[in-house]
């Protein structure tokens, strides 16, 4: 697991005994998740006792350090975005036209390499 | 399925991994068809209390697949030879009922096959005993009415649940060989449920490696028992295609076992619903 945002998510999941499905949705395999948890265990970041999984004081420090590095403050130290719904950042020169706007104005013939249409919200009734 | 239900906390996820570790069950690199992922899918279909129960039961789950059969037969065979020092020749028969005669897909034939060739003698000290396999019982007992003093009948299977199949097999056998009495018959299985032991132990020499009990009734008591039974009933309501006869396993066996094929004696959550169950029948 290399993405620090994802490591932070795993730490948050341990801290609040959260749902492991959030990591599986990101495409991680069970082996990858379990290996990471085992590494946490070996390094004393988590404590695994009597079937509970807790963040150790060292783990809390690591979480804080990671939050600082990723510039997460306040509530965002404990909440991660829903990665599967995150949209890829586009460059400043790219033009983004929301689909609702395209539909409203009837701009179906628009085509240009720098024109991005928000295809994620195209529904089945749409004519293309 | 309600999205809210697709939850498994880190605690329970790690517990599942520890169960796999203690049982030396492999966690595959690929998620799709791995047993771990199938157990994971079973758990996320349940609520928290139900997940706790299934994890407790899965700690006691026994899985013995075919490559392990030869090794697992070692102890039963040693016990058989020890129990019957006067015997030097065994006629090995598959434990199948009359209606299943010739149905070689029955698991008893897999065990029977292991008595052929020399693999068994390389694994176990047979103390000079001979094991002759009999696949066609009818043909064999046309010419063989009685046994000599040093001969014995051995029925084999991989799993004995309620003991009903054994009784049916013995009825069929007595039809064909009425002169051979129960005293000269041994029954061998890798795993046996104590329901079968209670039925057969008085009349027969039983040899086996693992004895199993009812997974809930024989392990919980008081409020724990009532709660666990209620939870399992709730779980069963979520299963598609569950017939009443398999509720808590065939004849309420409450088994927690899978052999090469999972027996219907096992709690149906483990095998009946292809969307939830980790095993298939």
Q: Give residue limits of the domains in chain A.
A: 4-85, 88-122
The residue of chain A with its CA nearest to that of B55 is: A51
Which residue of chain A is at minimal alpha-carbon distance from B28?
A: A31
Residue A48 has pLDDT above 70, yes or no: yes
pLDDT category of residue A2 using cuts at 50, 70 and 90: low
- What is the reported pTM? 0.85
User: Whole-number mean pLDDT of chain A?
Assistant: 82
**Confidence (pLDDT) at B74:** 95
Q: Where are the beta strands (DSSP E) in A56-105?
A: 95-97
User: Cβ of B146 under 8 Å from any chain A Cβ?
Assistant: no
Please give the Cα distance from B114 to B184 (Å, whole number). 22
The answer to whether B115 touches B109, Cβ cutoff 8 Å, is no
pLDDT band at A84 (very low <50, low <70, confident <90, very high): confident
Q: What is the pLDDT along chain B (281 residues), one digit of tens a residue?
A: 444 547 899 999 999 999 999 999 998 877 677 899 999 999 999 999 999 999 999 999 999 999 999 999 999 999 999 999 999 999 999 999 999 887 888 999 999 999 998 888 888 999 999 999 998 888 888 888 889 999 999 999 999 999 999 999 999 999 999 999 999 999 999 999 999 999 999 999 999 999 999 999 999 999 999 999 999 999 999 999 899 999 999 999 999 999 999 999 999 999 999 989 999 99
Cβ–Cβ under 8 Å, residues B215 and B34: no
Least Cα separation, residue A35 to chain B (angstroms): 11
B269 within 8 A of B236, measured Cβ to Cβ: yes
Q: What span, in angstroms and rounded, lies between the C-alpha atoms of B238 and B5? A: 12
Q: Looking up tokens 């096992």, which residue turns up?
A: B266
Higher pLDDT, A50 or B71: B71
* Whole-number Å distance between alpha carbons of B114 and B121: 10
* Rounded Cα–Cα distance for residues A8 and A16 (Å): 12
Label residue B223 exposed, middle or buried (CB < 10 Å: 0-12, 13-18, 19+).
exposed
- B13 CB neighbours in chain A (<8 A) are 20, 33
* Average pLDDT estimate for A51-79: 90
Give strand pairing partners of B258.
Answer: B63
Q: Using 50, 70 and 90 to split pLDDT, how confident is the model at A128?
A: very low
First to last CA, chain A: 39
Burial class of residue A95, CB neighbours in 10 A (0-12, 13-18, 19+): exposed
Q: Does B25 touch chain A (CB under 8 A)?
A: no
Q: Which residues contact residue B79 at a Cβ distance below 8 angstroms, ignoring those fewer than 6 apart?
A: B207
Interchain CB contacts (distance < 8 Å): A and B: 47
Half-sphere exposure of B83 (CA within 13 A, CB side): 20
Residues of chain A with C-beta less than 8 angstroms from the C-beta of B15: 51
Which spans in B84-221 are helix H? Answer: 107-114, 119-123, 137-143, 164-176, 194-200
Buried b (16+ CB within 10 A) or exposed e, B32-46: eebebbbbbbbbbbb
How far is B214 from B228, CA to CA, in rounded Å?
13
Count of Cβ atoms closer than 10 Å to residue B101 Cβ? 15
Torsion of CA B91, B95, B97, B99, to 10 degrees: -90
Could you tell me how many helices (H) and strands (E) chain B has, helices first?
11, 7
Distance separating alpha carbons of residues B164 and B30, to the nearest angstrom = 40
| Cα-based distances in Å from B159 to A80, A109, B138, B213 | 50, 69, 24, 13
| Residue A112, pLDDT above cutoff 60 | no
CB contact under 8 A, A30 and B30: no
Report B:70-109 residues touching A (Cβ under 8 A). Answer: none
- Is B149 exposed, middle or buried, given 0-12, 13-18 or 19+ CB atoms closer than 10 A? exposed
Instruction: Examine the pLDDT at A116 and tell me if it is beyond 70.
Output: no
- CA distances to B10, B16, B54, B277, B279 from B38, in Å: 17, 11, 13, 7, 8
Asked if the Cβ–Cβ distance from A53 to B37 is below 8 Å, we say no
Q: Which residues of B touch A34 (CB under 8 A)?
A: 14, 17, 27
Instruction: List the single residue in A with minimal CA-CA distance to B38.
Output: A30
3-state DSSP assignment of residue B197: helix
With an 8 Å Cβ cutoff, the interface of chain A facing chain B consists of: 13-14, 17-21, 24, 29-31, 33-34, 37, 48, 51-53
CATH fold of A4-85? Arc Repressor Mutant, subunit A (1.10.10)
If you average pLDDT over residues A4-31, what whole number do you get?
Answer: 92
What is the percentage of chain A residues whose pLDDT exceeds 90? 43
* pLDDT of B89: 96
The Cα of A14 is separated from the nearest Cα of chain B by a number of Å equal to: 6
Instruction: Give the 3-state secondary structure of residue B185.
Output: strand
Place A77 in a pLDDT band, splitting at 50, 70 and 90: confident
Sketch out chain B's domains with CATH numbers.
3-60+215-270 (no CATH), 67-211 (3.40.50)
Tell me which residue in A24, A29, A48 faces B14 most closely, judged by beta carbons: A48
Residues of chain A with C-beta less than 8 angstroms from the C-beta of B29: 29, 31
- Asked whether the beta carbons of residue B11 and residue A17 sit closer than 8 angstroms, the reply is yes
Structure tokens at B76: 């039963």
């Amino acid at each position: 697991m290399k993405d620090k945002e994802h490591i932070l998510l795993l730490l948050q999941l341990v801290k609040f005994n959260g749902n492991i499905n959030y990591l599986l949705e990101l495409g991680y395999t069970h082996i990858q998740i379990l290996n990471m948890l085992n590494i946490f265990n070996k390094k004393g970041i988590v404590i695994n006792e009597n079937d509970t999984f807790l963040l150790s004081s060292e783990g809390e420090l690591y979480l804080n350090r990671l939050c600082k590095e990723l510039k997460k403050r306040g509530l965002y130290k404990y909440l991660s975005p829903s990665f599967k719904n995150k949209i890829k950042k586009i460059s400043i020169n790219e033009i983004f036209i929301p689909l609702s706007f395209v539909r409203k104005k009837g701009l179906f013939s628009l085509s240009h390499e720098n024109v991005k249409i928000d295809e994620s919200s195209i529904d089945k009734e749409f004519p293309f | 399925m309600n999205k809210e239900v697709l939850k498994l906390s880190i605690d329970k996820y790690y517990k599942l991994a520890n169960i796999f570790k203690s049982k030396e069950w492999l966690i595959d690199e690929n998620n799709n068809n791995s047993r771990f992922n199938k157990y994971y899918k079973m758990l996320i279909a349940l609520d928290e209390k139900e997940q706790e129960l299934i994890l407790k039961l899965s700690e006691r789950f026994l899985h013995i697949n075919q490559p392990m059969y030869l090794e697992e037969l070692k102890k039963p065979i040693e016990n058989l030879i020890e129990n019957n020092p006067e015997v030097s020749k065994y006629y090995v028969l598959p434990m199948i009922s009359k209606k299943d005669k010739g149905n070689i897909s029955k698991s008893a034939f897999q065990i029977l096959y292991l008595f052929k060739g020399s693999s068994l003698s390389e694994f176990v000290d047979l103390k000079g005993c001979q094991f002759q396999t009999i696949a066609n019982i009818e043909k064999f007992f046309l010419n063989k009415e009685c046994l000599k003093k040093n001969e014995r009948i051995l029925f084999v299977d991989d799993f004995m649940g309620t003991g009903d199949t054994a009784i049916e097999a013995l009825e069929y056998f007595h039809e064909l060989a009425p002169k051979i009495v129960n005293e000269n018959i041994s029954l061998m299985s890798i795993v046996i449920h104590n329901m079968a032991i209670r039925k057969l132990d008085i009349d027969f020499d039983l040899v086996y490696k693992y004895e199993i009990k009812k997974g809930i009734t024989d392990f919980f008591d008081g409020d724990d028992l009532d709660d666990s039974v209620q939870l399992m009933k709730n779980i069963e309501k979520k299963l598609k295609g569950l017939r009443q006869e398999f509720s808590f396993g065939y004849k309420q066996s409450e088994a927690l076992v899978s052999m090469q094929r999972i027996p219907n004696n096992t709690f149906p959550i483990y095998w009946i619903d292809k969307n939830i169950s980790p095993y298939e029948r």
